[in-house]
C-alpha cells in the first residue's frame, strides 16, 4: 500500500511540473513515505532521515518531507524529533503537496497539513507505476475495523470505495502498459462496495479485462470473506490461487480482545471452504505472539491451529504496543522475554511447514511469470507462480515479461527451483 501511495504522489507531483530523479544526489526534495503499523517501522524512518541530514548541511536548498501514516499520526511532533524536517503531510492531503513544497522554496519555514478527509479517494489520478511487470491498483482507502492493536483506522480514516468503473479503467490501462500481474489493494477488500457493486462482482468484472492475465488482491479480513468471493475466485480464470488471510490468534478470548469479529472455528471453516473450492490454493497469514493477557494455554491454541492449518507462509510478529490504540491501554502486557520466546516457537513451526509445503511442489509443472534475472546467477531467471511462490530456473533474459511452464525439481528455503518444459 505504501508503494501504491508513493506512485500516486509521484503522479500528483509530475502533473505539477516536478520531476522524479533517478539518483538521490540530484534531488532538491526528498520525501519519506512512512508506515506506522509498528514502532520499529517509525524508528527506521527517523534513522533514515538522520542519514540524509548530511546532504542538507551541504545543500541549504534541499527540502526533506514526511508523508503517510507516521506523518498523519505524529504531525508537527515530527519536527520536534528532527528539526531538519521541512514539511509533514497526512494521508488525505497529497493533492496539497505541490502547493506546500512550492511555498517552502518561496518562504522557508516548517509546514504541516494532516487534516482528515474521510471522502478523499484521489479520483482522476493515475499512479506512475514504478514496477516493470507487476502493478498495484487501489480499490478503496481507510478501515472501519478498529482491531484493538492496530493504528491504521486512526491514520487512514474511514472506509471509502472507489468508483468501480474507474477501477476497471485503471486495470485495463495498466495491462495496456505491459503489466500482466495486477494486485487490487485495500485495508479490507472484502468490504468493498460502490453503489451496490460488492467485491465479488468487482472481481467478476476485473476478470473479464483482456489486457491482464493475473489478478491478486490484499488484504482480506476473515469476518468479511464471503462464500460468494470464494466461488468467484474458484471460477475466475485470472484470479490467482493465493489468499493472504490474517489469523492473528487461534484463541477465541484473545481474538475477542483483539476485536477481530470471528472465532478460531469460523476461521478454520473458511480455510476448509477455500481448499475445497481450490485444492491447490496457497494460504498465507499474519500471527501475533504475546498479545496482552495471552496465557501459555492460549498461545498453545494459536500454535496448534497453525500446525493444523499448515499455512504456506506466515508473517509472525511479537505484539508491539501502539500509542492511541485500545490494546496499548491494557494493564496485562506480556514480558518481552516471553513474547520473543513465543514468537520464535511460531517461526520454527512455520519454517518446518513451509519447507514441507515447498517440497510437495517437486515434480509439479507450474506456470511462471518471468520477472527478472536471478540474484545469484546471470544464467538463471526468477518469477512467481500463480500461488505466489518464487521460482528460479535456467533461461535467457529475453523471456522476462513472458509466461513459461516450469517443472519443479527442488525446494531451497522459500524458493522453488526447476527447468522450463514445453
Spans of all domains in the chain: 2-113, 134-359, 365-421
Q: pLDDT-based confidence at 132, cuts 50/70/90?
A: confident
What was the pLDDT predicted at 57? 83
pLDDT(53) > 90: no
Mean of pLDDT values over 307-332: 96
What was the pLDDT predicted at 115? 96
Cα distance between residue 14 and residue 20, in whole Å: 7
Cα distance between residue 146 and residue 352, in whole Å: 33
CB 350 within 8 A of CB 306: yes
Lookup result for grid cell 489520478: 125
Q: Where are the beta strands (DSSP E) in 116-250?
A: 134-138, 140-141, 160-161, 181-185, 193-194, 197-198, 214-218, 242-244
pTM, rounded to two decimals: 0.94
pLDDT(130) > 90: no
Buried b (16+ CB within 10 A) or exposed e, 327-339: beeeeebbeeeeb
pLDDT(338) > 90: yes
pLDDT(56) > 90: no
Mean of pLDDT values over 364-383: 96
pLDDT(60) > 90: no
Instruction: Write down the architecture of domain 365-421 according to CATH.
Output: Beta Barrel (2.40)
pLDDT one-digit tens code per residue, 17-43: 999 999 999 999 999 999 998 888 899
pLDDT one-digit tens code per residue, 267-305: 999 999 999 999 999 999 999 999 999 999 999 999 999
C-alpha cell at 187: 485495508
Q: What is the mean pLDDT of the chain?
A: 96
Mean of pLDDT values over 217-238: 97
What was the pLDDT predicted at 7? 96
405 Cβ partners below 8 Å, 6+ apart? 365, 366, 367, 368, 420, 421, 422
Mean of pLDDT values over 353-363: 97
pLDDT(74) > 90: yes
Mean of pLDDT values over 358-376: 96
Fold of the domain built from segment(s) 2-113: Rossmann fold (3.40.50)
Q: From the CA atom positions of the chain, what is the Rg in Å?
A: 22
Same CATH topology for 134-359 and 365-421: the answer is no
Q: pLDDT-based confidence at 422, cuts 50/70/90?
A: confident
pLDDT(378) > 90: yes
Q: pLDDT-based confidence at 156, cuts 50/70/90?
A: very high
Give the range among 53-67, 226-240, 387-401 with minimum mean pLDDT.
Answer: 53-67
What was the pLDDT predicted at 143? 96
What was the pLDDT predicted at 222? 98
Assigned CATH for 134-359: 3.80.30.20
Amino acid at each position: 500500500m505504501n508503494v501504491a501511495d508513493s506512485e500516486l504522489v509521484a503522479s500528483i507531483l509530475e502533473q505539477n511540473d516536478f520531476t522524479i530523479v533517478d539518483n538521490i544526489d540530484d534531488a532538491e526534495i526528498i520525501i519519506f513515505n512512512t508506515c506506522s503499523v509498528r514502532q520499529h517501522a517509525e524508528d527506521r524512518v527517523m534513522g533514515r532521515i538522520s542519514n540524509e541530514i548530511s546532504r542538507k548541511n551541504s545543500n541549504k536548498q534541499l527540502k526533506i518531507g514526511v508523508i503517510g501514516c507516521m506523518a498523519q499520526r505524529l504531525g508537527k511532533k515530527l519536527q520536534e524529533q528532527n528539526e531538519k524536517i521541512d514539511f509533514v503531510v497526512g494521508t488525505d492531503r497529497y493533492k496539497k503537496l505541490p502547493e506546500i513544497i512550492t511555498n517552502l522554496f518561496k518562504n522557508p519555514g516548517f509546514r504541516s497539513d494532516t487534516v482528515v478527509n474521510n471522502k478523499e479517494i484521489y479520483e482522476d489520478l493515475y499512479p506512475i507505476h514504478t514496477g516493470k511487470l507487476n502493478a498495484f491498483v487501489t480499490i478503496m482507502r481507510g478501515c472501519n475495523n478498529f482491531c484493538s492493536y492496530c493504528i491504521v483506522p486512526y491514520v487512514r480514516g474511514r472506509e471509502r470505495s472507489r468508483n468501480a468503473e474507474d477501477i476497471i479503467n485503471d486495470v485495463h490501462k495498466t495491462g495496456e502498459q505491459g503489466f500482466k500481474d495486477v494486485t487490487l489493494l485495500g485495508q479490507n477488500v472484502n468490504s468493498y462496495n460502490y453503489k451496490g457493486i460488492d467485491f465479488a462482482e468487482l472481481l467478476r468484472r476485473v476478470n473479464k479485462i483482456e489486457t491482464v492475465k493475473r489478478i491478486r488482491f490484499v488484504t482480506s479480513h476473515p469476518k468479511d470473506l464471503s462464500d460468494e468471493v470464494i466461488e468467484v475466485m474458484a471460477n475466475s480464470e485470472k484470479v490467482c490461487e493465493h489468499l493472504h488471510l490474517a489469523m492473528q490468534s487461534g484463541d477465541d478470548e484473545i481474538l475477542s480482545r483483539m476485536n477481530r469479529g470471528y472465532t478460531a472455528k469460523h476461521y478454520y471453516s473458511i480455510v476448509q471452504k477455500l481448499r475445497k473450492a481450490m485444492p491447490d490454493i496457497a494460504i498465507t497469514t499474519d500471527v501475533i505472539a504475546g498479545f496482552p493477557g495471552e496465557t501459555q494455554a492460549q498461545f498453545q491454541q494459536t500454535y496448534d491451529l497453525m500446525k493444523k492449518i499448515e499455512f504456506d507462509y506466515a508473517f509472525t510478529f511479537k505484539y508491539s504496543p501502539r500509542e492511541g490504540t485500545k490494546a496499548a491501554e491494557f494493564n496485562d502486557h506480556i514480558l518481552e522475554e516471553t513474547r520473543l520466546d513465543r514468537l520464535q516457537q511460531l517461526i520454527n513451526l512455520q519454517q518446518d511447514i513451509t519447507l514441507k509445503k515447498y517440497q510437495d511442489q517437486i515434480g509439479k509443472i507450474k506456470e511462471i511469470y518471468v520477472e527478472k534475472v536471478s540474484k545469484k546467477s546471470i544464467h538463471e531467471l526468477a518469477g512467481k507462480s500463480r500461488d505466489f511462490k518464487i521460482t528460479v530456473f535456467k533461461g535467457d533474459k529475453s523471456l522476462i515479461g513472458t509466461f513459461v511452464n516450469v517443472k519443479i525439481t527442488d525446494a531451497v528455503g522459500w524458493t522453488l527451483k526447476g527447468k522450463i518444459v514445453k
